[in-house]
């Protein structure tokens, strides 16, 4: 199956936005270093509200499985904590639906789930993403446990 270059570019926009927005959120919430730690700070420690805004304007919402993060310009990315069968622990991950949601928010909808999966598989081969669950869940390679910071 050939990969649609525009779908590849769309997934690249999602990856870039996720990196940027996640980094800004965690920089603002330091020493929290990942979504799992943010969930703990919200749910167990009650150090942060479930929904909030950071000093750089990132709005976050901790939900059942993860966290939605929105930049001041309206770009919205979402990750869930997903069991990684290779690492035997939960990591921050996203699925094609979350990518399509991001693209719809950016007024660039129209890609099918299959086109997004093919673009994700392309990015896995390029080393820009990790495949956590085949055709279903993906993660950024530099954040395999949801707490590494670059």
What are the tens digits of pLDDT across the range 56-84?
A: 999 999 999 999 999 999 999 999 999 99
Q: In whole angstroms, how large is the CA radius of gyration of the chain?
A: 15
Q: What are the pLDDT digits (tens) for 9-41?
A: 999 999 999 999 999 999 999 999 999 999 999
pTM for the full model?
Answer: 0.90
The strand pairing partners of 92, in sequence order, are: 81
DSSP-based helix, strand, coil % in the chain, nearest 5: 40, 25, 40
**80, 94 in Cβ contact below 8 A?**
yes
Write down the mean pLDDT value for the chain.
90
User: Is residue 110 very low, low, confident or very high in pLDDT (cuts 50, 70, 90)?
Assistant: confident
Q: Give the end-to-end CA distance of the chain in Å, rounded to a whole number.
A: 34
Which is nearest to 93 in space by CA: 76, 78, 111? 78
**128, 141 in Cβ contact below 8 A?**
yes
Overall average pLDDT of the 34-59 stretch:
96
**123, 131 in Cβ contact below 8 A?**
no
**147, 37 in Cβ contact below 8 A?**
yes
Query: Which runs of consecutive H residues, i.e. helices, occur in the chain?
Result: 5-28, 35-43, 96-105, 113-126
**55, 88 in Cβ contact below 8 A?**
no
């Amino acid at each position: 199956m050939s990969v649609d270059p525009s779908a590849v570019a769309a997934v690249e926009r999602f990856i870039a936005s996720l990196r940027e927005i996640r980094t800004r959120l965690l920089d603002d919430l330091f020493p929290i270093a990942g979504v799992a730690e943010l969930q703990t700070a919200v749910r167990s420690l009650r150090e942060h509200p479930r929904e909030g805004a950071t000093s750089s304007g990132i709005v976050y919402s901790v939900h059942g499985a993860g966290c939605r993060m929105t930049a001041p310009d309206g770009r919205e990315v979402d990750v869930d904590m997903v069991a990684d069968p290779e690492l035997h622990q939960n990591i921050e991950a996203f699925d094609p639906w979350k990518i399509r949601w991001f693209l719809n928010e950016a007024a660039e909808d129209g890609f099918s789930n299959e086109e997004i999966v093919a673009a994700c598989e392309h990015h896995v081969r390029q080393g820009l993403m990790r495949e956590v669950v085949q055709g279903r869940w993906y993660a950024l390679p530099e954040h395999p446990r949801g707490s590494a910071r670059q």
